[in-house]
Amino acid sequence: MFTVSDLTNRHEILFLYEARDCNPNGDPLDENRPRTDPETGEATVSDVRIKRTVRDYLLSLEPDVEKRLANGVEILIRDTMKADGHLSEGKDRAEHFLNEAAKGKKKEAKRQALEEAITQGCIDARLFGATLPLGKSEPSIQLTGPVQFAAFNRSLHRVSPVLVQQTAAYAGGASVHQKSFAERWLLPYALIAAYGVVNEVAAKSTGLSQKDLRQLFAGLWHGTAALNTHSKLGHDPLLLVVADYQPGYRLGALTQRIALTQQRAEDSALRSTQDFELDIAPLLEAWRAYPRLQGVRVMQDARLRCRMGEQVGSFTELANAAGLHVSALDL
């Protein structure tokens, strides 16, 4: 039976994390350089990268595929292999979810059976939606995800990518007696602000639950902290704020209502949270004047210092001082 969503409110997500001496989101078409806005010099991170972080974290919680499916926490969008050893295509992945009864159905009935199997078994489909082809002359699966992040999530300051040369592990050729050099691009420092929306109306089409949403928040925080590949080691979450609204409403533009202040260095010379404070006064004032806000939930690293006018403290302390209803985000 199709899972019924228990979400009733709209939510906005503000997630800040730092990236030190790593590559937050490389561009494979540009030597894997960190993505930046050529006009502003800000680092940019795609929504695909953020969703990948969440998916990888959720995948790490349970290594057994059958258990993930049984518990509804399988990851639909991940690398899987066909029997011949080749990487699965979309239609191959779709076939993984068709049981014997569904395989005998045609067109619309087949699509509905597949949609139900995917939304029941895959948490990322319930969160982010899915598009899967079923083959020629067959309708494709198209689920609109209730959770959407900005297409590009930006650093709150200009960055300056650097090219680092390192000694490689092997020689560059058969007749060479010395090791070759390897190169990689990285950012010395970036404070990145990601923005997302949870739509309670779209949640009905995928069956997104409050439990799923808590897993999403954990994936953002703990998944970012767990990034430990060669290019991603150096990520640390700093602030996760979830704003809860009445159905159908949101304030919007959260990342444009915060800014760095009290900087101790130029933008591209920032290296840690000791070099700045985060001005959240415009955001708190906007929320205080917005009657559709019901409350905010917060998780924060104590290293991040926030400012509201002359007051300096944690996000929770300043939000309380502004008269907002604040609670801890328990992850």
Looking at residue 146, its pLDDT comes to 98
13 is written with which tokens?
Answer: 């997500």
pTM of the prediction? 0.91
Looking at residue 171, its pLDDT comes to 53
Residues 95-126: tens digit of each pLDDT: 666 654 466 667 777 778 888 888 999 999 99
Residues 72-88: tens digit of each pLDDT: 999 998 855 455 655 45
Is the pLDDT at 229 greater than 80? The verdict is: yes
What pLDDT band is residue 131 in, cutting at 50, 70 and 90?
A: confident
DSSP 180-210: EEEEEEEEEEEEEEEEEEE-TTTHHHHT--H
Find all residues with CB under 8 Å of 86, minimum gap 6, and list them: none
Range with top average pLDDT, 82-86, 144-148, 227-231: 144-148
Looking at residue 168, its pLDDT comes to 59
Lowest-pLDDT range of 113-117, 170-174, 215-219, 237-241? 170-174
What is the separation of C-alpha 137 from the centre of its chain, rounded to a whole number of angstroms? 34
The Cα 44–Cα 38 span in angstroms is: 10
Strands 277-279 and 306-308: parallel
Looking at residue 141, its pLDDT comes to 79
* 270-296 mean pLDDT: 98
Mean pLDDT of the chain: 89
* 152-174 mean pLDDT: 81
- Please answer whether residues 220 and 329 qualify as being in contact, where contact means their C-beta atoms are separated by less than 8 angstroms: no
What pLDDT band is residue 140 in, cutting at 50, 70 and 90?
A: confident
Q: What percentage of the chain exceeds 90 in pLDDT?
A: 73
Looking at residue 263, its pLDDT comes to 98
Distances (CA, A) of 266 to 17, 47, 54, 108: 19, 28, 32, 58
